[in-house]
Amino acid sequence: AQTVTQSQPEMSVQEAETVTLSCTYDTSESNYYLFWYKQPPSRQMILVIRQEAYKQQNATENRFSVNFQKAAKSFSLKISDSQLGDTAMYFCAFMKSPGSGNTGKLIFGQGTTLQVKP
């Protein structure tokens, strides 16, 4: 069975600085997807970034980038130039890829609450 672990329940960062959120996972699959979701106080789940395991290049989306270390089963999220609107809970999630018994199921970590301070 797959598991996802986020070992930092809470983090804080000063506005305009950089912060890295950690995520590790356990799987025997070779192909899969990894995601970071953001949940602001509004409760809406928003996809931040997606990484496909067969791609060696780390995904980036504007100020958000990941450090994907497949051998170490690590998938950290780096937020550059932090903004007050980045204050939210962040979830790391895993999904098997199509063709490997994928049922569309997302397996989530416990979440990391990020506070951006002015």
Partner 1 sequence: NAGVTQTPKFQVLKTGQSMTLQCAQDMNHEYMSWYRQDPGMGLRLIHYSVGAGITDQGEVPNGYNVSRSTTEDFPLRLLSAAPSQTSVYFCASSPIPYYEQYFGPGTRLTVT
Nearest residue to 90 via CA among 25, 42, 40, 51: 40
- CB of residue 69 to partner 1, shortest distance in Å: 21
- CB of residue 55 to partner 1, shortest distance in Å: 13
Task: Mention every residue, 6+ apart, whose C-beta is less than 8 A from residue 15.
Answer: 82, 83, 84, 116, 117, 118
Strand partners, 65: 60, 78
Residue in 45, 67, 78, 80 binding partner 1, rule: CB under 8 A: 45
11 binds partner 1 (CB under 8 A): no
How many angstroms separate the most distant Cα atoms in the chain?
46
Residue in 44, 60, 62, 83 binding partner 1, rule: CB under 8 A: 44
Task: Mention every residue, 6+ apart, whose C-beta is less than 8 A from residue 37.
Answer: 45, 46, 47, 48, 90, 91, 93, 108
108 binds partner 1 (CB under 8 A): yes
Of 17-25, 54-62, 64-72, 105-113, the window that binds partner 1 (rule: CB under 8 A) is 105-113
Residue in 55, 63, 105, 117 binding partner 1, rule: CB under 8 A: 105
88 binds partner 1 (CB under 8 A): no
Find the distance separating the first CA and the last CA of the chain, reported in whole Å: 41
Binding site for partner 1 (CB under 8 A): 4, 9, 33, 42-45, 47, 50, 91, 93, 95, 98, 102-106, 108-111
